[in-house]
């Protein structure tokens, strides 16, 4: 094993005395202390508001802006008729290294679409936020741009997002009533199929 000897600087006499160095240290900490004390007092009095006294971000009230490529909670993008863009190709389910995606496809009445998910679950308890599902999606149907970071839940079941929560990122479990109209396996109906294509306003051309 190669050994590299690092030459450390010899301490000078004053440094060895230690006390002057302590005073240097105290000078730094005290500068911060008194500067911030002054600024905080000024802020309380309504002055110098433009000079920040601390770097703290008061988290729940204040949020740091996320990078545009930040990977937050998933969502399913929608068509004009509020049905999912997803065509149930299961590439995300295939590529997912954590195997947290569960898709059951169904037949779409529009032969140009053919396929759509009647069930689409993402188990956030297992998700590793790699973003491969977004990368692999040929339809831009899944994105991780909701900016939702607080994903804690009281049960594993609640960590399992179903199609309602994925299509409406503001929804959280328990979902009392379902507003989705196309046929899907519905959590609010005990996992039974619910909905029909007749009530979905069809966009022209189909």
Q: Binders of other proteins: how many residues, by CB under 8 A?
A: 37
Could you tell me which of 127, 167, 147 has the C-alpha nearest to residue 71? Answer: 147
Interface segment toward other proteins; rule CB under 8 A; list 6-14, 48-56, 171-179, 196-204: 48-56
Q: What are phi and psi of 84, to 5 degrees?
A: -70, 145
d(CA 75, CA 161): 10
Query: Does residue 36 touch other proteins according to CB under 8 A?
Result: yes
Regarding 2 and contact with other proteins (CB under 8 A), the answer is: no
Contact between 168 and other proteins per CB under 8 A: no
User: What whole-number distance in Å separates Cα of residue 206 and Cα of residue 203?
Assistant: 7
Three-class SS of residue 164?
helix
24-32, 151-159, 167-175, 198-206 -> range binding other proteins (CB under 8 A): 24-32
Question: Do residues 85 and 77 touch, judged by C-beta distance below 8 A?
Answer: yes
Closest CA to 32 of 52, 18, 12, 57: 52
Contact range with other proteins by CB under 8 A, out of 6-14, 22-30, 176-184, 188-196: 22-30
Q: Considering the rule CB under 8 A, would residue 63 count as an interface residue with other proteins?
A: no
- Give the residues lining the site for other proteins (CB under 8 A): 19, 22, 25-26, 28-30, 32-33, 36-37, 40, 53-56, 58, 87-91, 94, 102-107, 111-115, 119, 138-139
């Amino acid at each position: 094993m190669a050994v590299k000897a690092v030459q450390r600087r010899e301490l000078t006499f004053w440094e060895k005395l230690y006390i002057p160095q302590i005073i240097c240290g105290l000078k730094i900490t005290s500068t911060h202390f008194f500067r911030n004390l002054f600024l905080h007092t000024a802020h309380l009095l309504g002055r110098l508001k433009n000079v920040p006294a601390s770097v703290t971000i008061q988290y729940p009230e204040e949020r740091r802006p996320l990078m545009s490529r930040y990977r937050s909670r998933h969502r399913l993008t929608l068509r004009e008729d509020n049905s999912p863009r997803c065509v149930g190709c299961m590439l995300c389910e295939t590529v997912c290294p954590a195997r947290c995606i569960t898709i059951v496809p169904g037949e779409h009445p529009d032969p140009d679409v053919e396929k759509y998910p009647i069930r689409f679950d993402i188990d956030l308890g297992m998700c590793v936020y790699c973003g491969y599902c977004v990368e692999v999606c040929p339809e831009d149907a899944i994105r991780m741009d909701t900016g939702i970071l607080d994903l804690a839940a009281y049960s594993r079941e609640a960590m399992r997002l179903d199609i309602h929560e994925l299509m409406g990122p503001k929804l959280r479990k328990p979902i009392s009533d379902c507003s989705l109209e196309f046929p899907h396996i519905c959590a609010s109906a005990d996992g039974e199929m619910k909905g029909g294509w007749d009530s979905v306003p069809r966009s022209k051309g189909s």
